[in-house]
Amino acid sequence: MKQLSEAQLKENWDKLIQVIKDTFEDGSERRENLLRMYHDLEDRMIMAPASGKEEYHYCHVGGYVEHVLHVVDTALKIQETYESIGGHKDWTDEELIFSALHHDLGKVGDLNDEYYVPQDNDWRRKTLGEVYTSNTDIPNMRVPDRALFLLQHFGVKCNVNETLAIKLADGLYDEANTYYMKVYDASRSLKNHLPNIIHFADHMATLAEFDEWKRGDEDEKEEMESKIENIKSVTVEKDKQNGVPQEHEDPILENKHKDLFDELFGDKS
């Protein structure tokens, strides 16, 4: 599983704060309230994962901030592609970035406690890959609803485009969204496509994050297999020299074997 160093956690956090400073007007009420909210939630937000299961996305310490930055970047790219293929952009960059930044805010938890807590059931960790589980001590709310609650608590106003984009970020993966997104009467359909752009960005970023996790896992497995093969080859080489398996006597082979063993399993001394 991916592990971020303390320096990487700090770097991602600084990037996130810089996006806020670059996007929202200096001295505006919205920027000030956002910075206050981020300051108040910093300790939890910087550590939060983006999901609870290994095969989902960015299920590691710092995964939330990494995912949010990824979605902002992806949303800007999708917006550009959308316009280049003839789509009409009837929202602002600020609305797009604001919605991408906060689509998962509810995953940070409520005012007092985190949403994701470590899974302490060993069976569920090993069998189901649940690294985290949802905290049942906080009120049960949908993630977008908690996001909108937190924003209003800190006095951060959302316009209707942003409200719908945050609320509908999961697209039709959330059945509750069919009311807004599966509409066959044009007069009731969404007035612009920002919610779809945010959903596409979230979904696409999530797929890429899954690929990254899977590749990382496969790389780790390949590396382990290659080391095991190295140990076997050393043993076979030694056995060939001696005709039959026996205790290591050649100091070069003996040391090589020990180095590989230590590399694989660590120095236990």
Q: Tell me how far, at minimum, the Cβ of 202 lies from Fe ion, in Å.
A: 4
Beta strands in the chain, from DSSP E residues, in sequence order: 116-118, 132-134
Select 95 or 104, whichever has its Cβ closest to Fe ion: 104
Select 66 or 202, whichever has its Cβ closest to Fe ion: 202
Dist. CA 233–CA 252, nearest whole Å: 14
Q: Tell me how far, at minimum, the Cβ of 205 lies from Fe ion, in Å.
A: 7
Q: Tell me how far, at minimum, the Cβ of 67 lies from Fe ion, in Å.
A: 6
What are the phi and psi torsion angles at 33 (to 5°)?
-70, -35
Report DSSP letters for 205-245, one per residue: HHHHHHHHHHHHHHHHHHHHHHHHHHHHHHHHHHHHHHSS-
Which residue type does 252 have? I
Dist. CA 113–CA 101, nearest whole Å: 20
Which stretches of the chain bind Fe ion, using CB under 5 A? 104, 202
Select 104 or 130, whichever has its Cβ closest to Fe ion: 104
Select 54 or 104, whichever has its Cβ closest to Fe ion: 104
Q: Tell me how far, at minimum, the Cβ of 251 lies from Fe ion, in Å.
A: 55
